[in-house]
């Protein structure tokens, strides 16, 4: 069975191009299954829908070192757990 997952990620990086590059690098490694592509990974494909600036509150929290997991997604019950979610608003 295959799934299409919609994910939002908080990336602490000022350069938008680096955000794309970093996420692509992580996903590419998972797609090819290893640094030399020796086996197929579990991610088959991906696409970016958008990369948007974080809220001012999230920016301040990251800058001060006080960001807490889930802070950017208060209406999302699953956050980074393995629990399934009916979706986030």
Q: What is the pLDDT of residues 61-84, one digit of tens each?
A: 999 999 999 899 888 876 666 565
List, for residues 28-67, the tens digit of each pLDDT value. 888 887 666 666 778 889 999 999 999 999 999 999 999 9
The whole-model pTM stands at: 0.74
DSSP state of 29: H
Residue 70: closest CA among 86, 3, 46, 61: 61
Residue 89 near residue 82 (C-beta atoms within 8 A): no
Residues with Cβ within 8 Å of 53's Cβ and at least 6 positions away in sequence, in order, are 59
Residue 13 clears pLDDT 90, i.e. is over it: yes
Give the mean pLDDT of the chain.
85
């Amino acid at each position: 069975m295959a799934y299409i997952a919609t994910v939002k990620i908080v990336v602490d990086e000022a350069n938008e191009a680096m955000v794309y590059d970093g996420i692509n690098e992580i996903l590419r490694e998972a797609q090819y299954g290893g640094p030399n592509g020796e086996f197929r990974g579990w991610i088959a494909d991906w696409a970016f829908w958008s990369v948007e600036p974080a809220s001012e509150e999230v920016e301040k929290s990251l800058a001060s070192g006080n960001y807490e997991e889930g802070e950017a997604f208060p209406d999302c019950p699953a956050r980074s757990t393995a629990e399934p979610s009916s979706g986030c608003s």
